[in-house]
Structure 1
Amino acid sequence: MKIALTGATGLVGRFIASEITSAGDCLLPLSRPGYHLGARPDLAGCDALVHCAFAHVPGRYRGGEGDDPEGFVRANLDGSRALFEAARKAAVRRVIFVSSRAVYGGHPPGTELNEALPPRPDTLYGQVKWQAEQALADMASESFRPAVLRATGVYGPGPAHKWQQLFAEFHAGQEIAPRRSTELHGADLARALRLLLASDATGPFNASDILLDRHDLLTRVARLTGTRHKPPAPSDAVVSVMRCDRLHALGWRPSGFSGLAAALPAMVADGPTG
């Protein structure tokens, strides 16, 4: 297969790019500086498009619009629509859009999140993701088969990983606020995407794995690095957990806490100790 991938060098895209190339498929990377949302790439000859690029303030997704919400919508929503239309005109049959659990944001804490729930985004980020999902779904036909991967927070080793700042603050002895969140290894997300590419299934698919407390995460980090600082107290926050039955039905099995244990040594290897 020839697969076009937006955001190929980003936090999520690099895992997907690795999965595509390791499977022996031909990768067409669409990344900065040569590509930006709003451009109309040449997708002729591509069998599939995976769209995971998103323009935002560095390091921020929710709140990623900064002080330019109009520009944020123009780049991400209008840019995504233009990309989907380019794929359809180029007769690309399979399109996978990497969306976010943020589309469920307005549901009360503790709600079991499944794909049948109506999205209730409560941030501009979630609203744009949901609107892009709708735009893609409206284009669906027998010859244009789109699917959406609603991913939770993605972690994994690599440059500028998602916990880099958190680990630095912990090692510096700064106070860390308690927090619990759902997390997913980037390699598991990439494997989910591989299954979707091989499937003709359409619609949204939740992608989530472990419920992780910062207390437990930073306790693991302290053991690996020898830091003398104490992790925050366990969080008592109620968290909405995503059900992933649709992906499980395709044979997807994420790596759980064993995946976290395998990833952490590389993620802390270049950090300070103390």
Structure 2
Amino acid sequence: MRIAVAGATGFLGRHLAARLAVRADEIIPIGRAGDIATLEQKLAGCDALINCAGEKSGIGPGSEDANVALPERLFLAAAAAGVPAFVHVSSVAALTSATRAGETVSDDYEGRPTTPYGISKRRGDDRLSELAPSHPAVRLAILRPPILIGADAGGPFAMLRAAAQRGLPLPLGSANNRRSVVHVDNFAAALLAAAEAGLAGTYIVTDSPALSTDEFYARISHALGRKPWLFPIGSAGRGLLRRLLGQRGDSLFGDAAFSGERFAKDCPLDWPVPAALLIERAVTP
């Protein structure tokens, strides 16, 4: 296949490009610059365009361009060039960044995002969904992953990995929360499967059951050959620490559980990284 990739040099884009290279597909890197006519020329003859580009802060003109204007330009260019499949990387944050205890959010969730990033991504998703009916020859798939993990990932997972490498004790005992993740190589496989199948629709993508933060830390520690040092601080202590740490505290103690069951039904595939080895492969690939 001849597949165009926007954001090919980012964290996800690098893993997607590596997977395409193994398959001997032709990769057409697409930059953020250029008008629709220029992009159309680059996309000529492509079987699919996968948009991995984005901006995480959700604030300012750079975010508006990356998360809203760029997806629109890419989609219109793909339609003009006759590209049959457009796969857009969104985020579960476009639905919500947090769930209630015991709740698992699925594609039919009716809430709205509250974080700047989530609001920005949702605006981009909604704009694409508005454009799609006018361009029926392009199959539009919008995929919403939770946190992507991998050996070169940043964010909360990298923070836990660094703590485990140092053997640091963390106040995560009896955390009792549930958080969803997806391995970056599995999500790259999902993007390609959606492109090949001509999947259309908006989907949450998960590859494993949600885990508590203390389970994450224990599995990371064991993968590194270290004993996990966890101690409980009680619900009051967790609440206080969560407030003090702000967004990082939410990542450690909050819930963010999502279901990708509908995607698994509509676009079945064998995950390259099985659920039983998900954390371990994200620590020692």
| TM-score computed with the length of structure 1 as normaliser | 0.79
Runs of 5+ unmatched residues, structure 1:
56-60, 267-274
Equivalent pairs counted in the alignment come to 253
Q: Does the C-alpha gap of structure 1 residues 189 and 48 become closer, same or farther in structure 2, counting only changes over 3 Å?
A: same
1:241 offset after TM fit, Å? Answer: 2.6
State the partner residue of 2:276.
257
Say whether 1:117 aligns with 2:109.
Answer: yes
1:237 and 1:160 mapped to 2: Cα distance? 18
Q: SS of the residue aligned with 1:138?
A: helix
CA distance in 2 between partners of 1:236 and 1:6 (Å): 34
Which residue is equivalent to 1:6? Answer: 6
Distance apart, 1:5 and its partner CA: 0.6
Larger proportion of strand: 1
1:85 aligns with 2:76: yes
Amino acid at match of 1:250: C
- The one-letter code of the counterpart of 1:155 is I
Q: Is the contact made by 2:221 and 2:228 (CA closer than 8 Å) also made in structure 1?
A: yes
Distance 1:136 1:104, change over 3 A: same
Quote the offset at 1:202 in angstroms.
0.9
Separation in structure 2 between the aligned mates of residue 219 and residue 4 of structure 1, nearest angstrom:
39
User: Where in structure 2 are there 5+ consecutive unaligned residues?
Assistant: 234-251
Deviations 1:210-234 (A, max 9, x none): 3122322222333344546613549
Query: 1:149: how far off?
Result: 0.8
Q: In structure 1, the residue corresponding to 2:11 is in which secondary structure?
A: coil
Contact 1:149 1:205 in 2 (8 A): yes
> Is contact 1:3-1:26 (8 Å) kept?
yes
- The answer to whether 1:146 aligns with 2:163 is no
- Between 242-251 and 195-204, report the one with greater CA deviation: 242-251
Deviations 1:43-92 (A, max 9, x none): 1221210001113xxxxx3xx14xx5343223321122222222222221
Which has the larger share of helix? 2
TM-score normalised by L of structure 2: 0.76
Offset at residue 176 of structure 1 (A): 5.7
Kept in 2: contact 1:185–1:259 (CA 8 A):
yes
Instruction: Look up the match of 1:230.
Output: 229
Contact 1:6 1:51 survives alignment (8 Å) = yes
What RMSD over aligned residues (CA atoms) do the two structures have, in Å? 2.9
Q: How far 1:125 sits from its partner (Å)?
A: 1.2
Q: Secondary structure at the match of 2:141?
A: strand
Structure 2 Cα separation of the partners of residues 232 and 27 of structure 1: 48
